[in-house]
Structure 1
Amino acid sequence: MLAELHISSLVVHSTPKRIERVAEAIAAIPGAEVHARSAAGKLVVTLETDTAQQMSAIVAEIQRTEGVLSAALVYQCVDSLDAMNEEMPDGYAQA
């Protein structure tokens, strides 16, 4: 079986007063990155994992984090590591 890379994005809603702690907890998870946050308690998060099971487990972990009101999967992409690492020529446009 070919090695895969799963990339997904989430919108996480936190209580505003706990957003910094929630962002720190998420950033401490291997493969997770917090890209944006708002004063209202919303965070934009991406995950990179090897399997769908790992991704699901991390989403569940985020949902159980103290201060998290919800964590919604917005996008998921999966492809082989070979395809993800393939270099594209300059000017490449996909139709």
Structure 2
Amino acid sequence: MARVKQALAALPGAQVHGSSAEGRIVLTLEADRSSHVADQLHAAQSIPDVVSIALVYQHHEHADSLNEEIPDETDSSRVH
């Protein structure tokens, strides 16, 4: 398990968040294109002793949107 987690963490844009005693691993993959994430998934699946990979959630947005301010809708001082 330690060798698999180390190999996964070595993938570009990858971060291992945790694992279970049963051998499940939580991994985040980040890339600038969806096709790069697909390449990362393929590379992860090719690591020895990895049985399967399941994409649970995928999110994509342009990097420019990360600079946008998001209003706090829970702010009770705002007038509606």
Place the TM-score, normalised by the shorter chain, in its bin: 0.7 to 0.9
Q: In structure 2, the residue corresponding to 1:22 is in which secondary structure?
A: helix
1:51-62 alignment, distance < 5 Å: 51-62=33-44
Q: In structure 2, the residue corresponding to 1:49 is in which secondary structure?
A: coil
Q: Cα deviations across residues 13-37 of structure 1 (Å, max 9, x unaligned)?
A: xxxxxx1111000111121001010
Aligned length: 74
The normalised TM-score by structure 2 is 0.84
Higher strand proportion, which one?
1
Query: Percent of aligned pairs with the same residue?
Result: 42
Partner of 2:47: 65
Cα distance, 1:39 vs structure 2: 1.4
**Higher gyration radius (CA):** 2
Q: Provide structure 2 residue ranges, at least 5 long, that are not aligned to the other structure.
A: 75-80
Partners in 1 of 2:14 and 2:73 — Cα distance?
A: 29
Greater RCO, 1 or 2 (C-alpha within 8 Å, sep 6+): 1
Are 1:88 and 2:70 an aligned pair? yes
Superposition misfits of 4+ residues, deviation over 4 angstroms: none
Q: Provide structure 1 residue ranges, at least 5 long, that are not aligned to the other structure.
A: 1-18
